[in-house]
């Protein structure tokens, strides 16, 4: 059970016993089963990954995901699976989220850490696309990003927010590839830069802005019905850790203060939770984090901070505000986030990218770091999918 909304859930699987299976949840019945592409079972040197007794296992239904709608809010459902040789079996349960108070006002989506231009993945760069790639198949970062955007549009997003590390090395070719991807979107795109985007001498912000996607070093805002988005800049040239200057922190606080409604702050690096960094990669430095968060709390306590950078899904409090990290589009589990803004709150739901060639790739990347990545990166369901109610003061003001 990867994602839950108030009236829908997303069910994902690594494999199924057969390519002719039925998933049941409530009154819904879905026929599923996706044959994995031949390259999904390829490893270094073209050797099959799934073997038993020295021989490849028979092909099974490959990785996939489906979204099931028509459900009721705050309701627990059994998820059952049946098929040839498989009796009807309960495989999971799901409790839908409550509906936030008030009317639905806006929907936007976010993607993070696309790393367009990356060619290999893993501690020893052992994971890569098949060689040669099948005709018409674009590199995995591109196909995952395009699929994420398409699925976000189908979900109903009215705006796409890209939270940095758009590219792998910040080269001209990579930036123009990102611009082509954004131009193909059917909805407006807002982007910020990450540490990977400012690696080289090229001024990524100028290139993006000249092509119609304004990216600035200075904080800026965009108003949606029901919420203001405030975009901050945290990458530092040649460093992995993030930083927010005192003038930038003050400017973001002013933008948060100068609105009657709640605020969603969009960063690449998340603020650091503790005095000592407890995880990798590093976040915004502790002094900068405390200054930023305290300023935002004083300006508008109805503030949510969303970030990328860590390639992991997490949710936690920092200084009285909720911080939500959402993982990458291109490595396990491969995801995008949808945000529904209501009069009285906001709901985040993180979905796996379900397009077959994308999920086949991201599923294969779960074995990075000896399989630790497959356990670490998804986070808990409550990290991915949740509802946050705005303080009463802001609800009344809206």
Read off the pLDDT band of 302 (50, 70, 90).
very high
Contact indicator for 69, 357 with CB cutoff of 8 Å: no
What's the domain range around 262? 104-397
Contact indicator for 116, 168 with CB cutoff of 8 Å: yes
Q: Do 132 and 50 belong together in one domain? A: no
Q: Do 111 and 251 belong together in one domain? A: yes
Residue 359 buriedness (CB in 10 A; 0-12 / 13-18 / 19+): buried
Total tally of structural domains belonging to the chain: 2
| Measured distance CA(305)–CA(229) in Å, rounded | 10
> For the segment 212-221, what is each residue's pLDDT rounded down to a tens digit?
888 988 999 9
Q: Do 71 and 121 belong together in one domain? A: no
Q: Do 25 and 144 belong together in one domain? A: no
pLDDT at residue 246 above 70? yes
Question: Which residues in 221-230 are b (16+ Cβ under 10 Å) and which e?
Answer: bbebebbbbb
Q: Do 308 and 375 belong together in one domain? A: yes
CATH of residue 16: 2.60.40
Strand, coil or helix: 34: coil
Q: Do 110 and 137 belong together in one domain? A: yes
pLDDT at residue 188 above 80? yes
| Measured distance CA(73)–CA(370) in Å, rounded | 38
| Measured distance CA(351)–CA(11) in Å, rounded | 9
Half-sphere exposure for 275 (CA within 13 Å, toward CB): 0
Q: Do 59 and 202 belong together in one domain? A: no
Q: Do 262 and 348 belong together in one domain? A: yes
CATH of residue 189: 3.60.21.10
> For the segment 366-388, what is each residue's pLDDT rounded down to a tens digit?
988 888 999 999 999 999 999 99
Q: Do 134 and 234 belong together in one domain? A: yes
| Measured distance CA(11)–CA(65) in Å, rounded | 5
- The pLDDT value recorded for residue 163 is 97
Read off the pLDDT band of 243 (50, 70, 90).
very high
| Measured distance CA(164)–CA(184) in Å, rounded | 18
Q: Do 285 and 239 belong together in one domain? A: yes
Q: Do 70 and 132 belong together in one domain? A: no
Q: Do 194 and 214 belong together in one domain? A: yes
Contact indicator for 194, 218 with CB cutoff of 8 Å: no
Query: What does pTM read for this prediction?
Result: 0.92
């Amino acid at each position: 059970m990867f994602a839950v909304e108030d009236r829908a859930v997303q069910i994902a699987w690594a494999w199924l016993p057969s390519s002719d299976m039925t998933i049941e949840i409530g009154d819904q019945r879905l026929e599923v089963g996706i044959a994995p592409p031949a390259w999904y079972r390829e490893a270094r040197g073209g050797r099959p990954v799934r073997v038993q007794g020295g021989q490849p296992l028979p092909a099974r239904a490959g990785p996939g995901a489906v979204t099931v709608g028509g459900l009721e809010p705050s309701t627990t459902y059994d998820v059952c699976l049946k098929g040839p040789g498989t009796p009807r079996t309960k495989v999971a349960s799901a409790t839908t989220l409550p509906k936030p108070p008030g009317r639905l006002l806006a929907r936007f989506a976010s993607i993070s850490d696309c790393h367009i231009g990356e060619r290999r993945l893993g501690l020893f760069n052992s994971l890569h696309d098949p060689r040669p790639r099948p005709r018409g198949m674009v590199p995995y970062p591109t196909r995952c990003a395009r699929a994420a955007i398409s699925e976000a549009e189908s979900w109903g997003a009215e705006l796409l927010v890209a939270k940095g590390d758009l590219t792998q090395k910040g080269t001209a070719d990579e930036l123009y590839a990102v611009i082509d991807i954004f131009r193909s979107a059917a909805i407006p795109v807002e982007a910020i830069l990450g540490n990977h985007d400012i690696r080289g001498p090229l001024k990524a912000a100028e290139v993006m802005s000249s092509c119609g996607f304004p990216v600035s070093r200075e904080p800026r805002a965009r108003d949606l019905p029901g919420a203001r988005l405030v975009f901050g800049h945290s990458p530092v040239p040649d460093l992995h850790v993030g930083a927010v200057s005192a003038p930038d922190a003050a400017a973001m606080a002013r933008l948060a203060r100068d609105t009657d409604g709640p605020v969603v702050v969009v960063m690449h690096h998340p603020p650091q939770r503790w005095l000592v960094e407890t995880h990798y990669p590093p976040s915004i430095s502790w002094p900068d984090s405390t200054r930023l968060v305290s300023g935002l709390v004083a300006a508008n306590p109805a503030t949510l901070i969303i970030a990328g950078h860590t390639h992991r899904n997490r949710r936690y409090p920092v200084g009285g505000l909720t911080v939500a990290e959402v993982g990458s589009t291109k490595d396990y589990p491969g995801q995008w986030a949808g945000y529904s803004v209501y009069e009285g709150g906001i709901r985040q739901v993180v979905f796996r990218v379900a397009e077959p060639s994308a999920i086949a790739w991201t599923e294969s990347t779960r074995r990075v770091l000896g399989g630790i990545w497959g356990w670490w990166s998804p986070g808990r369901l409550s990290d991915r999918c949740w509802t946050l109610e705005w303080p009463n003061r802001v609800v009344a003001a809206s």
